[in-house]
Structure 1
Amino acid sequence: MDKIILRELQLMALIGVYDFEREAPQALLADVELTVDLQKAQHSDDVADTVDYAALAEWMVNSAASTDFQLLEALAGHLINGILATYPATEVTLELTKPGILDNARAVSVRLTRRAA
């Protein structure tokens, strides 16, 4: 099956368990992979026949900015469920990364994969 992949999409979200994390929105990075049928788009060369990834990116940015979760797992679940409800993907994998949160690690990530119902 075909894939559309967005890598390192920057999102801003109020997220975290600790008080210092809740003072201001933090930068997160999202990698998202949508399994979609791209045959029609490859022949038509028309954005209407595919997932408009600029619109997907804008939706993700706006959705993350409007949330107030404590856990990356919760925000990732919110985003992946919204993608499946909004876009014609049969499967979505989302990796959500929080850079610089631990002194001894570059980043922490969660990765979810969900299939359309």
Structure 2
Amino acid sequence: MDKVSIDNLSVEVIIGVYDWEQQQTQPLILDLWLLTDFSAAFASDDLDDALNYADIAEHVTDLCQQSRFQLIEALADSILQMLLNRYPASRVGVRIRKPKAIAPAMAVIECERGRDELS
């Protein structure tokens, strides 16, 4: 199995359980990975046979900016479901870092799901 990764995707979102978090955007830093098969892209050297990194980043950014979750876990589930529904990957994963959650540390969650695990 082959893997496409997008690391350090920075998005400004409204997310959190506290009132102030629902009033202003804050940064999240995302790492994404999609397990797929590169065989067709190896043979064709054509973007149509590969996963388009820019397209993935754009769709994840849009989803994050349009969402209004309290928990980064709920956002992660939404991202995983969108990736599995939109792209030909057998498994997808996301790591979300929330730099302003617990200064001076970094709050981080990591989730991975396959098609058979969609909720």
Give ranges in structure 2 of 5+ residues lacking alignment. none
Q: Which digits, 9 at most, give the CA deviation of each residue in 1:9-67, with x for residues without a partner?
A: 11221100011211112110110110000111012110000111100000000010000
The reply to whether residue 43 of structure 1 matches residue 43 of structure 2 is: yes
Runs of 4+ in structure 1 displaced over 2 angstroms?
none
Paired residues, number: 116
Identical aligned pairs, as a percentage?
34
* 1:31–1:96 CA contact under 8 A, matched in 2: yes
In structure 1, what is the Cα distance between the partners aligned to 2:25 and 2:42? 39
In structure 1, what is the Cα distance between the partners aligned to 2:67 and 2:17? 14
Q: TM-score, normalised by structure 2?
A: 0.93
Question: Which residue matches 1:64?
Answer: 64
Question: Which residue matches 2:88?
Answer: 88
In structure 2, what is the Cα distance between the partners aligned to 1:83 and 1:24? 26
Instruction: Give the aligned CA root-mean-square deviation in angstroms.
Output: 0.9
Question: Which residue matches 1:109?
Answer: 108
In structure 2, what is the Cα distance between the partners aligned to 1:12 and 1:82? 19
For residues 12-31 of structure 1, the aligned pairs below 5 Å read: 12-31=12-31
Give ranges in structure 1 of 5+ residues lacking alignment. none
In structure 1, what is the Cα distance between the partners aligned to 2:30 and 2:58? 12
Question: Which residue matches 1:75?
Answer: 75
In structure 1, what is the Cα distance between the partners aligned to 2:12 and 2:80? 16
In structure 1, what is the Cα distance between the partners aligned to 2:94 and 2:17? 21
